Amino acid sequence: MSWQHPIPRITEEERQQRLSRLRQLLDAHRLAGMLLGPTESLRYFTGLVWHASERFLGALVTPTALYYIVPGFERSRVETLPHLPAEILEWQEEESSAALIARTLGNSGILALDDNMPLYFYNALATELGAERLTDGGLLINGLRRIKSPAEIALIQYAMNLTLDVHKQAHALLKPGIRASDVVAFIDQRHREAGAHGGSTFCIVSFGEATSLPHGADGDQTLGEDDVILVDTGARIDGYHSDLTRTYKLKAGDSAFEDAWAIEREAQQAVFDAAKLGAACSSLDDAARAVLAKYALGPDYKLPGLPHRAGHGLGLDIHEEPYIARGNAMALAPGMCFSNEPMIVLPQKFGIRLEDHIHMTADGPCWFTQPSKGPTEPFA
């Protein structure tokens, strides 16, 4: 494919810089450490990828050291995986991983916790350390993660380009009579062939009235001659997500759909135009709703109209800060990446979601992918 080039990488040096910034924050907040669970934050800071289970595996970051907390029988597996070098502390099946963390941390100091830590493990730590020695580490972690580095933005751009190309291939495949499940399988296969590990991370293919359900309908569907088509899909490259939605028809001539499509595109552009450095995230959501209100849609979350926030942040998690939602006073800053998808829902008729993503630069907003061209031309 013409857009392909070597996949950008997050270097060990960049991960060390992330750890250094985290340690500075621990120092500034007088915290004894940060405990990372088997979450995307573990990958972000150390490069180690692990999936949650009843056995805790994670990392303890202190102002001066990094330790991996690992079930004894998993040590050999961990040693084969990419990760920053650090001491591995083992716990055995009859032992408590929480007790091991408590011994390593010592008898004093506050431990900040990864905000995606399972509740059962919080309870185990509270038993060992006391709840008064535990605090939410989400503000510190997310404050770092929501500002993307050039390498992260390059990875997201690569993933978005890949998925946009897959969207184009799916569009060329669509003909009346095709089943949604066949389109989903096609998209997954094309993602795999293009180098996305695990294929599609998700894929929604909706036809007709089912497009009015933001996350799709249960069961399979068959494309009718004059159906609205909504395709929302994404994949991951080195952990970083793509997420793109296109809504269109195969033939022109449906004025109700085309008029609604134009309003949706106007709302999407209003979000982009409102994305000024320093602007509150809520003001972007406000901008989308103002367009819809002009056409007697809404107000607020009422239907017909926009039933959800106008966008979400994206990175190692497909939904993360910043959230483009009412009430969110967070100011936009360079390095933030987020979706722009102020969907219009007309119940029992159809829905239209045009989703492209934005990253903030020192000069303002920049599209990862160019918005749709028209109601029967989903690509710029």
Query: How confident is the chain (380 residues) per 10-residue block, as mean pLDDT?
Result: 72 98 98 98 98 96 98 98 98 98 97 95 97 98 98 98 98 98 98 95 98 95 98 98 98 98 98 98 98 98 98 98 98 98 98 98 98 98
Residues paired with 350 in a beta bridge: 346
The owner of tokens 């431990």 is: 111
Q: Which two tokens stand for residue 134?
A: 């535990």
- In this structure, which long-range contacts are made by residues 178-183, counting pairs with CB atoms below 8 Å and at least 24 apart in sequence? 178/222, 178/223, 179/220, 179/221, 179/222, 179/223, 180/205, 180/206, 180/207, 180/220, 180/221, 180/222, 180/223, 181/205, 181/220, 183/231
Tally Cβ neighbours within 10 Å of residue 58: 26
Q: Which of 345, 358, 334, 352 is nearest to 273 (CA)?
A: 358
Q: Where are the domains of the chain?
A: 12-145, 147-367
Alpha helices in the chain (DSSP H): 12-28, 40-46, 75-80, 97-105, 119-129, 138-145, 150-173, 180-193, 255-274, 281-294
- Its CATH architecture, for the domain 12-145, is 3-Layer(aba) Sandwich (3.40)
Q: What is the dihedral of CA 186, 379, 253, 347, to 10 degrees?
A: 70
Q: Which two tokens stand for residue 204?
A: 């929604």
Q: Are 146 and 313 in contact (CB under 8 A)?
A: yes
Q: Are 236 and 361 in contact (CB under 8 A)?
A: no
Q: Determine the pLDDT at residue 6.
A: 85
Question: Alpha-carbon distance 242 to 369, whole Å?
Answer: 11
Q: By three-state DSSP, how is residue 351 classified?
A: strand
Looking only at the bridges linking them, the beta strands covering 66-71 and 87-91 are parallel
Q: Determine the pLDDT at residue 42.
A: 98
Tally Cβ neighbours within 10 Å of residue 186: 18
Looking only at the bridges linking them, the beta strands covering 356-361 and 350-352 are unpaired
Considering the four listed CATH numbers 3.30.420.40, 3.40.50.11540, 3.90.230.10, 1.25.40.10, the one that applies to the domain covering 147-367 is 3.90.230.10
**Which are the contacts of 80, defined by CB distance < 8 A and separation ≥ 6?**
none
